[in-house]
Amino acid sequence: MSGWSGAAGSALTWSALRDVKCAELEEAADGWGRVSNRADAARDRIEGQFLPGLRGTQEGEAAGKAVGRLRRLGTNFQYIYTECGLLRTTLNSLAHEIKTQQRVLQGALDDAAALKFTVHADGSVTYPAAGEGLVDGKPLAGGTASGVPNPGMVAPSGLVAPNPNAGKAQDIADRVAQAVRTAADADWRYTRILRSLKAHEGLGVPAATWTDAAADAAAVRQAARSYLKDAIPHDASPAERKEWWAGLTDEQREEYLAVYPDQIGNLDGIPALVRDAANRDNLQLLMGKLEGRDDDESATKLAALREIDRQLRGVPKAGEPPMYLLGIGDQGNGRAIVSYGNPDTARNVAAYVPGLNTSLDEEFAKGDLKRARDTAAAAREIDHSSAVITWLGYDAPQSPDGLSSLAVAGTARAETGGRAFNGFMAGMVASNDHDDPHLTAIGHSYGSRTVGAATQQGDGIPGVTDIVLVGSPGLGVDRAEDLGVGSDHVYVGAAENDVVTKLPSKERAVISGVGRVLGPAGSLVADMANRGDDGLWFGRDPASEEFGGRRFGVEAGPPLIGPGGLSIDAHSQYFDPELDSASAGSIALVAAGRGHMVKQEQAR
């Protein structure tokens, strides 16, 4: 790179460090950046123009093979974009660290020149006679100080040199040695990274290649902390993050997207189009990361990521809104935030929070995403400027016993999820193009408890004016007016055969003899047969008259005990336009800002 790359320790001299031309490193970085940008543009053209055009005009086996080849070409360009972007940031980060040490070195050299000290090739510093002896009054002899790279690691000798120049010379020598040592360490680290950034022959980009790319990205992220990551405003408000992003140069944005797609893609307040682009790249890196593992949890998450990737690469059917990936991650039970419709340009934005047993698996990728997609399609028929989001931004409780064990789920996850949900919705307010967008929070099952927790934190859920609760076991509050949006803006759907909406209160669950004999399911059966009040596990029944919300009509759903045995399907049909058109239609009306048109049903 500059004639000294690969040097380490004492092999690097201060004169070599001083003469490094960091501009050459930055020029090389710019070159890799241009290649990365061209690859990104080529990928966009393939996925945004060629593939939709081919699918829309051609059919048959030949067309299918052409689509497959174009997809592979698009993946190749995506890999080029990622790796070349990593190269750009590696070189820029190296230049950043070297320039920092050059400034330290130059400061030491300037001080030496001002004092008329001599800095030798080995970094030692000679200083002249100075002061005066106590006996003869003559100047004290000069000498030479040798630098210590880490002076703080050296214990004091207890002896003080009488010449006042000695301490100054030692400080200068130490600063020179420290700059050289730090630069040499950086050179060694970045040389290793650059050697690893190479493509496999043929550029087929199989799964193993993305696994390598994930490792490459992790290495560059670690090395570039001081150059990029430490500047990401994690502790700022969503509005401040939006302002930070807007203030970056195009080159800075490109580097963040290439090296930290996981950070930028999941940062509330960043524009939706940027988050989507970052998360689509991070999705590939996550799949590569999980491909290298053989445990069941990784396999489950990988299957979900593949399904999400498949949907993202597809072309929306007529009437279906475009898909935006606003969040993705493998932490905890997994994270995924998907919007149908652009939430920044839409006047109406609704976010659906799923509940018990929801995790990043194929069921989520197919079922929970479909709920948002169906709701968005219906809402956009009412008002085209609508977007609906599935928000899996927290660890929902997991229960092997199914919905009948929801009573054992505590409130801690709802509280934690509520804080995360509020941060996300604040981001939606900050990035939305409209001055006063209409925002709706939708909670299903334990997700309604999470929405309830969010309303009780700070000033409530940012920007939200309507709340929809379906299949709810309670919210942690006893009245609709406690949710902070007005009781007329709280909409409740509770199917007659949905066991979760009749989950017994803590007191009745504890004393239920049937429950002790038959377990949680038996307790629910007994409770449904003999309901004594409107108390649910997490507070008053939202469908009750005492709660005070607006209950809308829903289908009763399959009975708990039917010809086929025990069924909890009534808990899962609220969003399905085919199985429960009344409920799905009401949810869509609220999401589209037409809650006043929802037909109200008598409370329990």
Please tell me whether residue 386 adopts helix, strand or coil conformation: strand
pLDDT of residue 535: 52
On the 0-12 / 13-18 / 19+ scale of CB atoms within 10 A, 279 is buried
Neighbours of 136 (CB within 10 A): 7
Distance of CA 572 to the CA centre of its chain: 28
- The total number of residues shown for the chain amounts to 604
pLDDT, tens digit, for every residue of 50-105? Answer: 777 776 677 777 877 887 788 778 878 888 888 888 888 888 888 888 988 999 99
- Helix (H) / strand (E) containing 296: helix 296-313
pLDDT, tens digit, for every residue of 205-220? Answer: 666 666 777 777 777 7
- Residues 6 or more apart whose Cβ sits within 8 Å of residue 380: 319, 321, 341, 386, 592
Q: Give the phi and the psi of residue 349 in degrees, each rounded to 5.
A: -130, 125
Q: Determine contact, residues 380/345, Cβ cutoff 8 Å.
A: no
Give whole-number Cα distances, 570 to 113, 398, 500, 579, in Å. Answer: 83, 20, 9, 10
pLDDT of residue 334: 96
Calpha distance 270→401 (Å, rounded):
39
Within 402-463, strands assigned E span: 438-444
Q: Determine contact, residues 323/340, Cβ cutoff 8 Å.
A: yes
pLDDT of residue 141: 87
Reference 274, options 283, 45, 266, 387; nearest CA is 266
Q: Determine contact, residues 197/94, Cβ cutoff 8 Å.
A: no
Calpha distance 448→467 (Å, rounded):
9
pLDDT, tens digit, for every residue of 438-460? Answer: 999 999 999 999 999 999 999 99
DSSP state of 50: I
Calpha distance 582→594 (Å, rounded):
15
pLDDT of residue 416: 95
Q: Which residue type is seen at 124?
A: S
Low-confidence ranges of the chain (pLDDT < 50): 1-10, 154-159, 403-405, 407-408, 506-532
Calpha distance 488→466 (Å, rounded):
9
pLDDT of residue 69: 80
pLDDT of residue 187: 86
Calpha distance 112→358 (Å, rounded):
66
